[in-house]
């Protein structure tokens, strides 16, 4: 816009009577000032101006609030006692701190046992997947084997396929193996690079390994390293950033997963946290139906939600720095 | 001599590759291919489980006919509205996550804090917790309610679509919650466009608006489609999906048939997005080279 203005100015028929030189100088000075103000506001590039920055902050803070609100709600609700719940002046910050709901929730969830089970499932599956999916992804990206294109299509197919299609035969299979109501139906597929979203992790690894330079293989081969040595000594150490991403995803998704445990462990006495929460909710609904009205219902639910999220928050808190870096550096996807 | 050695190297590579992929292929056969074939088999049978054995009676397409024609309420009254809802949700999720990813990619003070917050949904959204939040009424945006948008929708949007759109509106916050992974994918994809391209476009005097449409967006096309694929797959295994809970051990035969019908629908969706992708990709690469 500024450019066209100057062009116009130059084309302006400047009268001979006024001193044209001075006129033009003054005009260009004021133009420059305008430009400077404009730069200040809009920026030389779009992400430098004040206007733009304000808009960004407004959007981001709004969305961040949407993300944080339920968590804040959870944190404040679970520490309210009866007086604070019924007090209409208390909306967010309770006047006193009450930790009894946490205790009730721990009893409801049988927290110790459920927590241990959740850890066994999420930890076991993520530990296995991070390794087995790396092996498969490496083969897909850098090695050769018969029918590679076919198996590549099958990988995509596995990614797309909803678990509901294969769940019934899988139940029958594990039943005949006598593994129902144990954690094995979740862990066993992970050993072979499958399991919950296993195909996605293989795809992530594949796209990462295919970005590494070809010279790595050649150098290692010239040094006489076998494929296994190459994989363990060179490739795995290089893929630290992907490993962080995969471990975190695998852990979180398995921790939160409700579907598979609800199928394979439903009749079990000890269940992982996600099922324990569902059972607790059902129990409370039953109580409500039976006429046992309580103002604590919501507070207890929030306390149990907190107990389930809390370990994840700790994990995320420690892993987030590497995680964010890893996401940026690996290119995560093709 | 040298040719022989190269051949040897390539067979060696093949052997290594086979060894590396073998566990995955075994897993695929055991946990994907076999159950898949078996559920297809069961969908043509009536399966009765007695105490000590399973009895199969061949009934042909009766399971399918039951679901598709005779007793279609599940498919037509529950799944189809959900699919319509999904069709509305997918573009919203994609646009929103693209926007947030681009914003998060800019440099500004406090960026790290915002990133930490914006990745929180990745942690929570897969779990029961979000369901808990929805039931607390955290899912809707009160602005939309106060604007009475739903009554306008009822008036102006053709028949079957008003319902799904209203549902989507009412769970708008939920949609934002479900775009965690998509934001990640876009953010990762944005890193693949090299900074020098942006520098060149700046030197050439391209405006930021143009830069976005001519450089950022075309560069992100593969990621947009990856996200489309991911979102489709994710939505189809959504906890609110009516089909998910209907596939149960109550009736092996008809559940398998239902799962297969459902699977075919998903494949159609995915095939459609892949087709779209190849078209767009070809068009773009035509102009690029």
B59 within a domain of the structure (yes/no) = no
Closest partner CB to B252 (pick from A168, A274, A312): A168
> By the 8 A CB rule, do A218 and A142 touch?
no
* Set of chain A residues whose Cβ sits within 8 Å of the Cβ of B124: 256, 309, 312
B84 within a domain of the structure (yes/no) = yes
Q: Is the pLDDT of residue B135 over 90?
A: no
| pLDDT tens figures, A289-317 | 776 656 677 788 888 888 888 888 888 88
**Position with higher pLDDT, B138 vs A262:** A262
Dist CA A295 CA A101 (whole Å): 11
Q: Are residues B14 and B105 located together in one domain of the fold?
A: no
B86 within a domain of the structure (yes/no) = yes
Closest partner CB to B24 (pick from A165, A193, A259): A193
pTM of the model: 0.82
Q: Is the pLDDT of residue A17 over 60?
A: no
| pLDDT tens figures, A49-90 | 677 778 888 888 888 887 887 788 888 878 877 777 777 777
B106 within a domain of the structure (yes/no) = yes
| pLDDT tens figures, B204-229 | 888 777 888 888 888 888 888 888 88
Closest-CA residue in chain B for A322? B116
Is the Cβ of A177 closer than 8 Å to some Cβ of chain B?
no
Contact A145 B116 (CB under 8 A): no
Dist CA A231 CA A139 (whole Å): 10
Rounded to an integer, the average pLDDT of B228-242 is 78
Place A93 in a pLDDT band, splitting at 50, 70 and 90.
Answer: confident
Is the Cβ of B256 closer than 8 Å to some Cβ of chain A?
yes
B153 within a domain of the structure (yes/no) = no
Place B194 in a pLDDT band, splitting at 50, 70 and 90.
Answer: confident
Q: Are residues B252 and B198 located together in one domain of the fold?
A: yes
Give buried/exposed letters for A115-127 (b at 16+ CB in 10 A, else e): bebbeebbbbbbe
Residues in Cβ contact with A267 at an 8 Å cutoff, skipping those fewer than 6 apart: A180, A181
Minimum distance, in Å, between the CA of residue A70 and any CA atom of chain B: 7
B150 within a domain of the structure (yes/no) = no
Q: Are residues B36 and B96 located together in one domain of the fold?
A: no
Return residues 190-219 of B near A (CB < 8 Å): 191-192, 202, 208-209, 211
To the nearest whole number, what is the mean pLDDT of chain A? 81
Dist CA B173 CA A197 (whole Å): 25
Predicted ipTM? Answer: 0.82
Q: What is the 3-state secondary structure (H, E, C) of chain B?
A: CHHHHHHHHHHHHHHHHHHHHHHHHHHHHHHHHHHHHHHHHHCCEEEEECCCCEEEEECCCHHHHHHHHHCCHHHHHHHHHHHHHHHHHHHHHHHHHHHHHHHHHCCCCCHHHHHHHHCHHHHHCCCHHHHHHHHCCCCCCHHHHHCCHHHHHHHHCCHHHHHHHHHHHHCHHHHHHCCHHHHHHHHHHHCCCCHHHHHHHHHCCCCHHHHHHHHHHHHHHHHHHHHHHHHHHHHHCCCCCHHHHHCCCCCHHHHHHHHHHHHHHHHHHHHHHHHHHHHHHHHHHHHHC
Place A46 in a pLDDT band, splitting at 50, 70 and 90.
Answer: low
For position A6, what pLDDT does the model report?
56
| pLDDT tens figures, B146-170 | 556 666 666 666 666 666 676 666 6
Q: Is the pLDDT of residue A96 over 80?
A: no
Q: Are residues B223 and B271 located together in one domain of the fold?
A: yes
Q: Are residues B271 and B198 located together in one domain of the fold?
A: yes
For position B176, what pLDDT does the model report?
78
Contact B262 A332 (CB under 8 A): no
**Position with higher pLDDT, B287 vs B161:** B161
Contact A145 B118 (CB under 8 A): no
* Set of chain B residues whose Cβ sits within 8 Å of the Cβ of A60: 100, 103-104, 114
B253 within a domain of the structure (yes/no) = yes
Q: Is the pLDDT of residue A186 over 80?
A: yes
> By the 8 A CB rule, do B116 and A320 touch?
yes
Minimum distance, in Å, between the CA of residue B163 and any CA atom of chain A: 24
* Set of chain B residues whose Cβ sits within 8 Å of the Cβ of A226: 16
Q: Is the pLDDT of residue B1 over 50?
A: no
- The pLDDT > 70 percentage for chain B reads 78
Exposed/middle/buried for residue A278 (C-beta within 10 Å: 0-12, 13-18, 19+): middle
Q: Are residues B37 and B71 located together in one domain of the fold?
A: no
Q: Are residues B17 and B112 located together in one domain of the fold?
A: no
Q: Is the pLDDT of residue B46 over 80?
A: yes
Q: Which segment of A223-232, B75-84, B129-138, B191-200 scores lowest on mean pLDDT? A: B129-138
The position carrying tokens 């060179």 is A234
Mutual orientation of helices A240-256 and A198-209 as an angle, nearest 10°? 170
CATH of the domain at B260: 1.10.3720.10
B263, B279, B179: which is closest to B227 by C-alpha? B179
Place A128 in a pLDDT band, splitting at 50, 70 and 90.
Answer: very high
Is the Cβ of B267 closer than 8 Å to some Cβ of chain A?
yes
Pick from A301-310, B67-76, B242-251 the range whose average pLDDT is largest. Answer: A301-310
Closest-CA residue in chain B for A331? B188
Q: Are residues B184 and B249 located together in one domain of the fold?
A: yes
Rounded to an integer, the average pLDDT of B34-61 is 83
Q: Are residues B112 and B21 located together in one domain of the fold?
A: no
Domain count for chain B, please give it.
Answer: 2
> By the 8 A CB rule, do B187 and B226 touch?
no
* Chosen from B123, B125, B277 to mutate, greatest number of chain A CBs within 10 A: B123
For position A196, what pLDDT does the model report?
85
Contact A227 B270 (CB under 8 A): no
Is the Cβ of A139 closer than 8 Å to some Cβ of chain B?
yes
* Set of chain A residues whose Cβ sits within 8 Å of the Cβ of B118: 63-64, 67
Q: Are residues B183 and B94 located together in one domain of the fold?
A: yes
Is the Cβ of B86 closer than 8 Å to some Cβ of chain A?
no
Q: Are residues B38 and B85 located together in one domain of the fold?
A: no
Q: Is the pLDDT of residue B128 over 70?
A: no
Dist CA A308 CA A306 (whole Å): 5
Q: Is the pLDDT of residue B288 over 60?
A: no
Minimum distance, in Å, between the CA of residue B158 and any CA atom of chain A: 31
Q: Are residues B109 and B191 located together in one domain of the fold?
A: yes
Q: Is the pLDDT of residue A253 over 80?
A: yes
Q: Residue B19 sits in which domain range?
A: 2-42
Closest partner CB to A45 (pick from B122, B208, B249): B208
Rounded to an integer, the average pLDDT of A95-106 is 80
**Position with higher pLDDT, A139 vs B121:** A139
A71, A271, A250: which is closest to B130 by C-alpha? A71
Q: Which segment of A71-75, A108-112, B5-9, B73-77 scores lowest on mean pLDDT? A: B5-9
Q: What is the 3-state secondary structure (H, E, C) of chain A?
A: CHHHHHHHHHHCCCCCCCCHHHHHHHHHHHHHHHHHHHHHHHCCCCCCCHHHHHHHHHHHHHHHHHHHHHHHHHHHHCCCCHHHHHCCCCCCCCCCCCCHHHHHHHHHHCHHHHHHHHHHHHHHHHHHHHHHHHHHHHHHHHCCCCCHHHHHHHHHHHHHCCHHHHHHHHHHHHHHCCCCCCCHHHHHHHHCCCCCCHHHHHHHHHHHHCCCCCHHHHHHHHCCCCHHHHHHHHHHHHCHHHHHHHHHHHHHHHHHCCHHHHHHCCCCCCCCHHHHHHHHHHHHHHHHHCCCCCCCHHHHHHHHHHHHHHHHHHHHHHHHHHHHHHHHHHCCCC
Place A334 in a pLDDT band, splitting at 50, 70 and 90.
Answer: very low
Contact A66 B202 (CB under 8 A): no
B182, B211, B229, B250: which is closest to B106 by C-alpha? B211
B151 within a domain of the structure (yes/no) = no
Tokens of A240: 């630290």
For position A333, what pLDDT does the model report?
47
């Amino acid at each position: 816009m500024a450019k066209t203005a100057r062009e116009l100015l130059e084309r302006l028929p400047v009268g001979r009577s006024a001193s044209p030189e001075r006129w033009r100088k003054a005009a260009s000075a004021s133009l420059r000032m305008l430009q400077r103000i404009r730069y200040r506001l809009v920026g030389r590039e779009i992400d430098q101006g004040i206007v733009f920055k304000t808009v960004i902050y407004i959007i981001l803070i709004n969305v961040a609030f949407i993300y944080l609100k339920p968590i804040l709600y959870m944190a404040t609700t679970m520490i309210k006692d009866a007086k604070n719940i019924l007090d209409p002046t208390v909306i967010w910050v309770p006047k006193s701190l009450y930790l009894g709901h946490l205790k009730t929730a721990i009893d409801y969830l049988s927290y110790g046992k459920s927590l241990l089970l959740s850890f066994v499932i999420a930890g076991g599956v993520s530990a296995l997947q991070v390794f087995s999916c790396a092996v498969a992804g490496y083969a897909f990206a850098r090695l050769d084997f018969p029918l590679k294109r076919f198996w590549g299509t099958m990988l995509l197919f596995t990614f797309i396929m909803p678990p509901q299609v294969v769940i019934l035969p899988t139940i029958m299979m594990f039943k005949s193996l006598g593994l129902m109501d144990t954690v094995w139906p979740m862990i066993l597929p992970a050993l072979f690079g499958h399991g919950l979203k296993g195909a996605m992790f293989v795809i992530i690894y594949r796209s990462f390994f295919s970005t590494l330079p070809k010279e790595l293989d050649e150098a290692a081969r010239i040094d006489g390293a076998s494929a296994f040595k190459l994989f363990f000594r060179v490739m795995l150490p290089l893929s630290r950033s992907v490993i962080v991403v995969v471990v975190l995803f695998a852990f979180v998704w398995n921790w939160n997963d409700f579907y598979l445990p609800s199928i394979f462990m439903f009749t079990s006495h000890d269940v992982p946290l996600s099922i324990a929460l569902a059972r607790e909710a059902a129990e409370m609904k039953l109580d409500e139906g039976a006429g046992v009205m309580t103002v604590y219902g919501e507070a207890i639910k929030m306390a149990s939600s907190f107990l389930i999220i809390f370990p994840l928050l700790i994990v995320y808190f420690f892993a987030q720095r590497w995680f964010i870096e890893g996401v940026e550096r690996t290119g995560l996807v093709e | 001599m040298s040719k022989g050695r190269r051949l040897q190297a390539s067979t060696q590579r093949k052997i290594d590759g086979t060894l590396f992929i073998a566990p995955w292929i075994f897993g695929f056969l055991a946990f994907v291919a076999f159950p898949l074939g078996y559920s297809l088999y069961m969908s043509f049978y009536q399966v009765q489980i007695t105490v000590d054995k399973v009895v199969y009676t061949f009934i042909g397409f009766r399971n399918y006919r039951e679901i598709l024609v005779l007793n279609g309420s599940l498919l037509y009254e529950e799944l189809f509205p959900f699919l319509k809802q999904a069709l509305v949700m997918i573009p919203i999720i994609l646009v929103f996550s693209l926007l947030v990813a681009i914003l998060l990619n800019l440099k500004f003070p406090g960026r790290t804090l915002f990133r930490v917050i914006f990745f929180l949904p990745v942690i929570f959204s897969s779990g029961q917790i979000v369901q808990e939040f929805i039931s607390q009424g955290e899912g809707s945006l009160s602005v939309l309610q106060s604007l009475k948008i739903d009554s306008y929708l009822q008036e102006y949007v053709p028949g079957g679509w008003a319902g799904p759109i209203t549902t989507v509106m009412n769970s708008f916050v939920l949609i934002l919650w479900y775009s965690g992974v998509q934001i990640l994918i876009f953010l990762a994809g944005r890193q693949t466009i090299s900074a020098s391209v942006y520098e060149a476009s700046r030197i050439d005097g391209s405006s930021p608006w143009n830069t976005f449409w001519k450089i950022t967006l075309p560069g992100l096309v593969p990621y947009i489609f990856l996200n489309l694929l991911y979102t489709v797959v994710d939505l189809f295994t959504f906890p609110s999906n009516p089909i998910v809970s209907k596939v149960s051990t109550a009736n092996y035969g008809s559940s398998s048939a239902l799962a297969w019908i459902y699977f075919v629908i998903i494949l159609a969706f995915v095939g459609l997005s892949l087709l779209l992708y190849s078209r767009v990709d070809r068009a773009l690469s035509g102009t690029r080279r």
